[in-house]
Each structure stands twice: as structure tokens, then as C-alpha cells.
Amino acid sequence: ARTERAIAARAAGAVADCQPLLGLIESDASACQQLVQGVKEQLAVFSGVFCEACRVAAAAGTASCGASLARAARDERPAEMETLAGLEWNGLFSLALVWLGRRIEEKVFSGAWARAGELFAGVGAGQLGADQSAGAGVLAAAEAALTQFARVGGHRLAHFLRNAMGQKSWATAQAPPAEPSLVVEMVLKEVHAFDAQLGRLLGDPRKQRGGGGHRRNFGLGRTSMELEIERQWARKVQAFAPAPFNRSGAITAILRIAFKALVEYVREEAFATYGLQQLQLDAELLGDLSRDFVETEDAAVLSSLLGEAVNSASQRCDAPTLMEATALEAICD
């Protein structure tokens, strides 16, 4: 809140500082118009610098600023930007940029443009209004920072899953699974942490899933055709699609990257029957737990990815026999 107030005060103060100069040139229409244009350009530069900060912090070239704003940002880039470029990636800092982007667009720019409109209203500058491209650029930069947060989180979970796939003897499993793999608990712990960070910074409360304690279905009621449609859907999922500007959407983006990676890791392994069943158990529990954090439609997408992982494992198993739903239920309970 203090940072927001400080930025808003600086922006409004910069506009107010033009008042003495305006008093000197108010009889010169051409000079007034030049001053108005200068103020507009400086407010646009402010937007561009924020976009550039998001791009630098995310170490990515896709902050989605307009070309003119990006050029203005580079021309006016302060020396501190190089310091920012040298900082180590920090997820909370990225989310702080997301928060600032939303507040800057909502509070800072609107106030600065309103003050500028009042100041220049009497000198034939009534057309002075908020630069929509500047506001859109700030929001796009904030969304890019959120997408980068999701990508880093997704890669972290994918790393856990890759290690789990490489360390387990899927092809020589000699006994049916008795419990989920450790990686399921690790993924759940990380998702809880991501969800808490997103909740604090976005101020977006998570909706509790209803349905009581008995909530698992383990794919019951789906026909072979429905399962095949899910698999086709999974193959078309874009793992690195931009993260929506909300809590559950960001979690979906993280899990989408991780589960899409799991599908690829499975294709590098061979499976015995019990190894296949272990993967089935892990996938079902991952899908079930993810429903606590994402919307129903997104949960279906994630479920399709996990289903594709199990299907791929089945194709790499000499005797593919999946566990019954009742057995899965007993282990998960």
C-alpha cells in the first residue's frame, strides 16, 4: 500500500509541477499544446518503464508492451534497471509486480490522467484523456509476469516428476501399490505454497470445493469413446499458454506444465503391470487433489493430461491391467 501511494503521489506531483510553467505560457496556444504533448509522452514513458521492468525481471522478451512503449522504455531506462536485471529470480517479487501492475492501472494512471485533464482544461487541451494503450500495456506486462511465475512453478513441479520417474523401477515392480509415491505429497505441498502466495498478492479468495468428503470418481461412468476424446484433447493442450489473471487460473497454468511434462517422461519408460498401477494411483490422486485449487473446466483439462500419461504407460506395458476403482478408493482413503 505504501509503494502504491508513493507511486501515485510521484505521478500526481509530476503533473502538478507543470502548473508554474503553464502559468507562463498559457497565452501561447502552440506552447501549451507542446506542454500537453510532453506530459502525455512522460506518462506513456512511465508505463513503458514499468513494462520493461516486468520484462527484465522475468528475463523474457514477451512483456507484451506496445512497440512505441518499449522503445520509450529503452530510451528512458534508468540505471537501476541494470541492477534489476542482475537479481536472482524470485517468485514473490514477480507477484509483487503483478499486484503493482493492477494497482498502477487502476489507481495511479487514472489519477494522473484526471489531474492532467483538470490542469490543462482551460488551455484548449480538453481532449487530453487517459492513454488506453499505456494502461493496456501495464496490464499486459503484469499478466506476462504472472505467466512467468506460472512457468517457473510448472518447471519446478516437472523437475520433481522427472526425478520420480527416473528413480523408480517401473519395469521391475513386483508388488501392487500400497500407497501413493512420495512425489504426490511433494507436488501437493508446492501447490499449497503457490496457492497461498497467489492468494496474498492477488487478493483472490479460493473457492472451496463442495461435495463432502467422498468426492473421488476415478473415471467411473466414462465410456471408451469419452476417454479417447479426453486423450485427443490432452494432446492438443498448450502447456505454455498464458496464465489467466486470477488465482485458480495461475494454478492451472502451473499444473498444466507439470502434467504435460509427465506425459513426456512416461514415454521414456517401460512398465510392468504393478508399475503401471502405481502410476495410475499417483495420477488419480494428483488429479483429485488438483480439483481443490482449480475450476471444474480446468480440472477436466488436467485430468485429460493425467489420463494420457496412464494411457501412454499402458502402451509401454506387456500386460497392461489397471486397478479397479474400489482398490484405488481403499488406498487413497
The answer to whether 174 and 101 are in contact (CB under 8 A) is no
Helix and strand totals (H; E) in the chain: 14, 0
Predicted TM-score of the model (pTM): 0.78
Residue 158 lies in a domain: no
Q: Within this chain, do residues 306 and 175 fall inside the same structural domain, yes or no?
A: yes
Q: For the range 219-224, what are the long-range contacts, defined as Cβ-Cβ under 8 Å and sequence gap of 24 or more?
A: 219/284, 219/307, 219/325, 220/325
pLDDT value for 65:
41
Q: Which of 144, 177, 196 is the last residue of a domain?
A: 144
Structural domain total, the chain: 2
Q: Within this chain, do residues 134 and 172 fall inside the same structural domain, yes or no?
A: no
Q: Which of 111, 144, 177 is the last residue of a domain?
A: 144
Residue 261 lies in a domain: yes
Residue 200 lies in a domain: yes
pLDDT value for 73:
46
Ranges under pLDDT 70 in the chain = 1, 3-4, 26, 59-80, 121-134, 207-235
Residue 124 lies in a domain: yes
The pLDDT tens digits for 271-288 are 999 999 999 999 999 999
Residue 225 lies in a domain: yes
Measured distance CA(284)–CA(305) in Å, rounded:
11
Q: Which residues pair with 271 in a beta bridge?
A: 317
pLDDT value for 326:
87
Residue 151 lies in a domain: no
Residues shown for the chain: 333
Residue 235 lies in a domain: yes
Q: Which of 112, 144, 176 is the last residue of a domain?
A: 144
Residue 137 lies in a domain: yes
Measured distance CA(165)–CA(56) in Å, rounded:
34
Q: Residue 23: exposed, middle, or buried by beta-carbon count in 10 A (0-12, 13-18, 19+)?
A: exposed
Q: Within this chain, do residues 90 and 207 fall inside the same structural domain, yes or no?
A: no
Structural domain boundaries, residue 103: 1-144
The pLDDT tens digits for 64-111 are 344 444 454 455 556 667 777 777 778 888 888 888 887 777 777 777
Q: Within this chain, do residues 128 and 225 fall inside the same structural domain, yes or no?
A: no
